[in-house]
Structures are given as C-alpha cells and as structure tokens.
Amino acid sequence: MSNTLGIIICFAYILLMIALAEGLRRWQGYGAGFTRKVIHIGVGMLSWALPFLFTSPWPFVFACAAFMVINLIDWRYGLIGAMQSKHRSNLGTVYFPLAAAVVALVFWHRPPLMVAALMPLTWGDGLAPVIGATYGRRFYRIHTSTRTLEGSLGFFVAGLVATWLALWAMPGMPEISPAVAFLPALVIMVVTTLIEAVSIWGLDNLTVTAAAIAILSVWPFGA
C-alpha cells in the first residue's frame, strides 16, 4: 500500500470516529465526556493498522502533526461538541497525537511494542472516566480533578488486557508468547495506573505513554 493511500485511509478513519461520536452526542444524547472517549479509543486502535498502512513512520507523524493543529483549533474555538472537555485547561486531545507520533518513531520496527505502548492510553485512559462516572463511589481529588478508585481500577484492568494482547497478538518482531507478555504488561499497568491517578490537565496522555515507552524499551524480550 502506498503511503498516500495510507494517509487518506488514516484521515478518513479518524474523521469517521469523530462523526460517529458527534452523532452519538446529537442524536442519542450522550455527553461529551463519553463521546470524547469513543474518539479516544477508536483513534488509539488505529495503531494496530499502522504497519499495514505505511512503509515508514513519517507519513503517520505528518498525520499526527495535522491533527494536533486541528485539535488545538477545536480546543480554542469549540467547533466539535463531541471532543469538548469541561476543563478548559485540558489539552489531552492535542497531546494524544503527539504521544502516538513519538511511539511510532521509537518502536516502528517493533510493532508489538508500538501497539502495546499505546494501549494503556487507548483503553485504560479511555474507559477509566466512563467506569468512574457509572460505578464510582470512592472519590479522591488531585489538584482540581476528582477521580474514583473504581475508575482507576477500570484503567488498570482494561489497560492490562489490551497491553497483554498487543504484545503477543500483534504480528512482527519481537515474537512474544502470551505467557511472556503478561509480566511486562502487568508492570506497565501498575506504573501507569499510579501515574494516571496523579496526572492533571490532560498530561496523562503524555506521562502514561512515556512510562510505557520507558518500560518496553528496557524490557529484555527474548533475552
């Protein structure tokens, strides 16, 4: 597949996720807190397709840079209701494509690690506020953010399953068995759950991903 076609598919898919979320908000009555996470998870799952869409990470980095600009404009002017946060200091939608671009550059030739590095952010951070809003009963406060232990548990469990699955199910090197994949996934999720719990202003999109990159970079796969 040509990189040009890959970029077209990438943009079309992301715009489709935004349109789906906006449809859920307008016609099904879902709040922006939920629809943001529909986009969040949907876009994060694009990572599974990257090796099949592009021959190098740079076209994807270009797409990420473009969406950083688009998301920054949307954050400033509130053009897309489905992407809005009630906290104006939250630049998470801008940080997300930045994190994805860095992961692609670091792990392009190791697809299982590339996808795994984004799964705590994709599924953990994607489901944590939804679970917290639905089932949260035990609250704690970090700066101006109120969170729940139930949401943090949801972050841990969802991220653990997705990270473990990515490490062994994603084709490419290194080849990792399901048994070998479990311990690094567990370590990543213990660390990133603690980091997410204390991160503010949407910075968890950066801090969680940075922690996952650091752990995966030094983990002795195949050693």
pTM here is 0.93
Question: Is the pLDDT reported for residue 154 higher than 90?
Answer: yes
- Position 144 scores a pLDDT of 65
In total, how many domains does the chain have?
1
C-alpha torsion sign, points 140, 142, 143, 146: negative
- Percent over 70 (pLDDT), the chain: 94
Say which amino acid occupies 173. Answer: M
- Position 153 scores a pLDDT of 95
Q: Token pair 């704690």 is at which residue?
A: 140
Question: Is the pLDDT reported for residue 223 higher than 60?
Answer: no
Contacts of 155 (CB under 8 A, 6+ apart): 120, 124, 125, 127, 128, 192, 193, 196
Read off the pLDDT of residues 185-208 as tens digits, 9 standing for 90 and up: 999 999 999 999 888 766 889 999
Q: Confidence class of residue 77 from pLDDT cuts 50, 70 and 90? A: confident
64 vs 100: CA distance, rounded Å: 7
For residue 62, the number of C-alpha atoms closer than 13 Å in the C-beta half-sphere is: 11
Q: Is residue 94 part of a domain?
A: yes
Mean pLDDT over 133-160 rounds to 85
Higher pLDDT, 113 or 1: 113
- Position 165 scores a pLDDT of 98
If you average pLDDT over every residue of the chain, what do you get?
Answer: 91
Q: Confidence class of residue 48 from pLDDT cuts 50, 70 and 90? A: very high
Instruction: Classify residue 62 as exposed, middle or buried by CB count within 10 Å of its CB (0-12, 13-18, 19+).
Output: middle
146 vs 32: CA distance, rounded Å: 17
User: Which range marks the domain in which residue 189 is found?
Assistant: 3-218
Higher pLDDT, 188 or 136: 188
Contact 209, 196 (CB under 8 A): no
What are the residues facing 146 on neighbouring strands?
141
Mean pLDDT over 91-112 rounds to 95
Question: Is the pLDDT reported for residue 85 higher than 80?
Answer: no
Q: Is residue 223 part of a domain?
A: no
Write the CA distances from 86 to 4, 6, 7, 180, 221, integer angstroms. 36, 34, 31, 41, 41
Q: Which of 22-26, 46-50, 55-59, 140-144 has the lowest mean pLDDT?
A: 140-144
Secondary structure (3-state) at 142: strand
Q: Is residue 187 part of a domain?
A: yes
- Position 136 scores a pLDDT of 73
Q: Is residue 67 part of a domain?
A: yes
